[in-house]
Amino acid sequence: MKLVVVGSGLAGLLVAIEASESIADAEVTLVTKGSLLESNTAWAQGGVAVVGPQPDTVVSHVTDTRRAGAGLSDPAAAMALAADGPTAIDRLLELGVTFDREGGVLCRALEAAHSHPRVLRAGGDATGAEIVRALVVALNDRAVTVLEHTHAIDVELRDRAGAASEVAGLLVRTPAGDVERLDADAVVLATGGAGQLYATTTNPAVATADGVAIALRAGAEVADLEMVQFHPTVLAGEHPFLVSEAVRGEGAVLLDDAGRRFMVDVHPDAELAPRDVVARAIAGQEARQGSPVMLDATRLGAAAIAQRFPTIVAACAERGLDITTQPVPVTPAAHYWMGGVRTDLAGRTSVPGLWAAGEVACTGVHGANRLASNSLLEAAVFARRTVVALAEAAATGPRAAAPSGGAWTAAAPLDLEDGPGAADWDRAQLQDLLWEYAGLTRDADGLARAAHVLAGFATPSLLPDAMFGLQARDVEDANLLLAARALVAAAAARADSLGAHTRRDSLPVGADLAADTQHHVLVAPLRYGVGLDFGSDAELV
Residues forming the active site = 275
List the one residue out of 311, 365, 309, 314 whose CA is nearest residue 336.
Answer: 365
Distance between CA atoms of residues 177 and 503, nearest Å: 42
CA distances 382 to 84, 208, 315, 403, 509, Å, are: 9, 22, 32, 15, 38
SS3 182: strand
Helix, strand, coil shares of the chain as percentages rounded to 5? 35, 20, 45
Do 51 and 320 touch, CB atoms closer than 8 A?
Answer: no
Q: Max CA-CA distance within the chain?
A: 69
Q: Cβ–Cβ contacts within 10 Å for residue 87, how many?
A: 12
Distance between CA atoms of residues 471 and 462, nearest Å: 8
Tell me 522's DSSP state.
E
Q: Cβ–Cβ contacts within 10 Å for residue 24, how many?
A: 8
Instruction: Please report the DSSP string for 323-388 in residue order.
Output: TTTS-EEEEEEEEEES-EEE--TTSB-SSTTEEE-STTEE-SSSTTSPPTTHHHHHHHHHHHHHHH
Q: Tell me whether strands 179-183 and 119-120 are parallel, antiparallel or unpaired.
A: unpaired
**If you count DSSP H runs as helices and E runs as strands, how many of each does the chain have, helices first?**
14, 21
List the one residue out of 410, 493, 412, 413 whose CA is nearest residue 451.
Answer: 493
Question: How long is the chain?
Answer: 541
Distance between CA atoms of residues 128 and 377, nearest Å: 11
List the one residue out of 358, 274, 222 whose CA is nearest residue 66.
Answer: 274
